[in-house]
Amino acid sequence: MKVSLSLDKSYSEDVAIMVDVLRASTTMTVAMENFGKIIPVKTIEEAEKLADQYDAVLAGERRGAAIEGFDVGNSPVEISNFNGKVLVITTSNGTRILEGMKAQVLIGSFANANAVAKKAMDIADNHIEIVMAGVESRFAIEDFLGAGEIIGNLIDCDLDEMALAAYMSSCNHDMVHDAIINSRSAHRLVDLGLSNDVHFCMRRNIYDIVPVYQNGSIEGTKY
């Protein structure tokens, strides 16, 4: 099995794992425990329209801050207090890249790294691509390290150099913790009073659910 790592755009037509550690991937994983379906969208206007249509809980952020008038921000800690049939979510980065992905798409994070790796191994034919969401198309170290955590759970695979570098970088948990705490993304969230989200997003393998994106919506499967 070949494993590659890319930023912002997906190239695989086999299996791709979208990683947005801080925070969309983690929030979606947590939300799948309490919602039947998640609809991720790019724009605030589209999110508001769909929330009305489905009588859904409405979640989202721009530059980390919760959107005025929404039920909840893009917070894995706060989303656990909500439930329902449908969650509509819009975020600055993670939801933006899902539409362009042609592969079978899974959502991965530290929180479900082992489960999403197992699912990917079971459904892939010959290629697993890890796609880092990044921040506004720029490299984000937390996504690189989250990708490395997932890659470490892929067994007997042929890693490209980027994937190998991510795996090696993720092996020292203390260094991973310090790097994420000191990242641009974490500093922004801390400044917004969301330090609890940062710490939550670094917890490993606390969920066995894998969000699966298909035909414009996300449903969960236990693994």
Same domain, residue pair 152 and 209: yes
User: Residue range 155-159: average pLDDT?
Assistant: 96
Same domain, residue pair 66 and 7: no
Q: Which residue matches tokens 């933006």?
A: 96
Same domain, residue pair 61 and 15: no
Same domain, residue pair 137 and 31: no
The pLDDT-based confidence of 33 (bands split at 50, 70, 90) is very high
Cis peptide before 23 (omega within 30 of 0): yes
Same domain, residue pair 85 and 174: no
**Of 50, 70, 92, at which residue does a domain stop?**
92
Q: How far apart are CA 178 and CA 170, in angstroms?
A: 12
- Residue 125's φ and ψ, nearest 5 degrees, are -85, -55
Task: Check residue 89 and give its pLDDT.
Answer: 98
Q: How far apart are CA 162 and CA 118, in angstroms?
A: 21
Residue 54, pLDDT above cutoff 90: yes
Same domain, residue pair 187 and 84: no
Same domain, residue pair 83 and 99: no
Q: How far apart are CA 145 and CA 130, in angstroms?
A: 11
User: Residue range 187-209: average pLDDT?
Assistant: 98
Same domain, residue pair 196 and 164: yes
Q: What is the pLDDT of residues 66-111, one digit of tens each?
A: 999 999 999 999 999 999 999 999 999 889 889 889 999 999 999 9
Q: Which domain holds residue 34?
A: 27-92
Q: Are 80 and 33 in contact (CB under 8 A)?
A: yes
Same domain, residue pair 100 and 70: no
Same domain, residue pair 31 and 52: yes
Task: Check residue 167 and give its pLDDT.
Answer: 98
Q: What's the chain's average pLDDT?
A: 97
Please give the structure tokens belonging to residue 34. 């309490």
3-state secondary structure string across the chain: CEEEEEECCCCCCCEEEEECCCCHHHHHHHHCCCEEEEEECCCHHHHHHHHHHHCCEEEEEECCEECCCCCECCCHHHHCCCCEEEEEEECCCHHHHHCCCCCEEEEECHHHHHHHHHHHHHHCCCEEEEEECCECCECCHHHHHHHHHHHCCCCCCEECHHHHHHHHHCCCHHHHHHHHHCCHHHHHHHHCCCHHHHHHHCCCCCCCEEEEEECCEEEEEEC
Residues 62/37/125/155 CA torsion (nearest 10 deg): 70
Percent of the chain at pLDDT above 70?
100
User: Residue range 128-136: average pLDDT?
Assistant: 96
Task: Check residue 10 and give its pLDDT.
Answer: 95
**Of 92, 107, 141, at which residue does a domain stop?**
92
Same domain, residue pair 49 and 147: no
CATH number at residue 172: 3.90.1560.10
**Of 92, 110, 140, at which residue does a domain stop?**
92
Task: Check residue 100 and give its pLDDT.
Answer: 84
Same domain, residue pair 148 and 132: yes
Percent of the chain at pLDDT above 90?
95
pTM beyond 0.95: the answer is: yes
The pLDDT-based confidence of 220 (bands split at 50, 70, 90) is very high
Structural domain count of the chain: 2
